[in-house]
Amino acid sequence: MAISTAGTAIQYEDGLTSPLSDSDALSIERRRIAETNTDFISFVIPAYNEGEKIYKNLLECLREVRRYGVPFELVVVNDGSADNTNQEIRRAAAHNPEVVPVSYSKNVGKGNALKVGARRASGNLVVFMDADLEIHPKHAMKFMYMLKATEADVVIGSKRHPDSKVDYPNKRKFLSWGYHLLIKLMFNLDVTDTQPGFKLFRKDVLDKEINKVEAQRYAFDLDLLVNVQADGYKIVEAPIELNFSRTCGGRIGFKTVKSIFKETMGVFYRAKMSRSSEGAKLAAASDPHD
């Protein structure tokens, strides 16, 4: 099917516009394919300063997912990296049409990258996956089976699932448990772990909920799941194998912890205001004097 791109432009997150490229035209074709197949999987992969490993990791992901025998794409979002991440993503895309490179110049945060990637995704199923492959793409098929078997809307990986196999440093374990306790105290969220970077969504649910998310960085996952649960969608947790690969406990330092707390408080405030608003609407609807 030939696609005409004459006179069409795409708007990027930093406000720039450019003519519709071949990869953008291919994305439109993928959307057409997605409408005629039972399943089409979009992997949304945010990347920030991953130039050293991103090319190799994308090839590994392609090898794994091609085994599934279903249409798929890798929507790889360069979140304003200062290294050669964008060039390495485009190198992978040059010979692998399943790779959809998306890039913008300013680093905004992982949450923003996921939101941008989700909007570009063509599939009826969308996987969020980290670029470091600490949780391997082999989990995707298992998550798909679980989604269908449980009739869930979202399947999320959990480090605290009894069948999970997790290898990560004590610093991260301490921070993870601390955040887990904070979430438990502040939110009535029926999950044990919000943070692992491997999640599967039905695209129609994701499209509805992602536009409500305001957190752009570390509390993005929490913000999204709070909204998903508030609207009555079913979330199921799945076991994962996590092999930590970053040095010195990763990128989380004091400033990061401070930012996480600030964003989390923002999610709590918005959720509380939303509940108050819904309560006021219900009270007004039941007022016999109206």
> Higher confidence at residue 92 or residue 248?
92
Q: What is the pLDDT of residues 22-58, one digit of tens each?
A: 455 555 555 554 455 579 999 999 999 999 999 999 9
Q: Mean pLDDT: which of 199-203, 211-215, 254-258, 263-267 is highest? A: 199-203
**Which residue segment(s) compose the domain that 19 sits in?**
11-271
In a domain, 40, yes or no: yes
The pLDDT score that the predictor gives to residue 257 is 74
Higher pLDDT, 272 or 134: 134
Confidence of residue 4 (pLDDT cuts 50, 70, 90): very low
Q: Is residue 289 part of a domain?
A: no
Would you say residue 277 lies in a domain? no
Output the pLDDT for position 188. Answer: 79
* CATH number of the domain that residue 81 is part of: 3.90.550.10
Asked if residue 281 belongs to a domain, the reply is no
Question: How many domains in the chain?
Answer: 1
pLDDT tens digits along 164-206: 998 877 766 777 777 777 777 778 788 888 888 999 999 999 9
What percentage of the chain carries pLDDT values higher than 90? 54
Q: Which pLDDT value is given to residue 253?
A: 54
Does residue 28 fall inside a structural domain?
Answer: yes
Position 184 scores a pLDDT of: 79
Q: Is residue 238 part of a domain?
A: yes
Task: Give me the pLDDT at residue 7, please.
Answer: 38
Inform me whether the pLDDT recorded for 128 exceeds 80. yes
Q: Note whether residue 249 is domain-resident.
A: yes
Domain-embedded: residue 3: no
Written as six digits, the tokens of 286 are: 């039941």
**pLDDT tens, position by position, 93-104:** 999 999 999 999
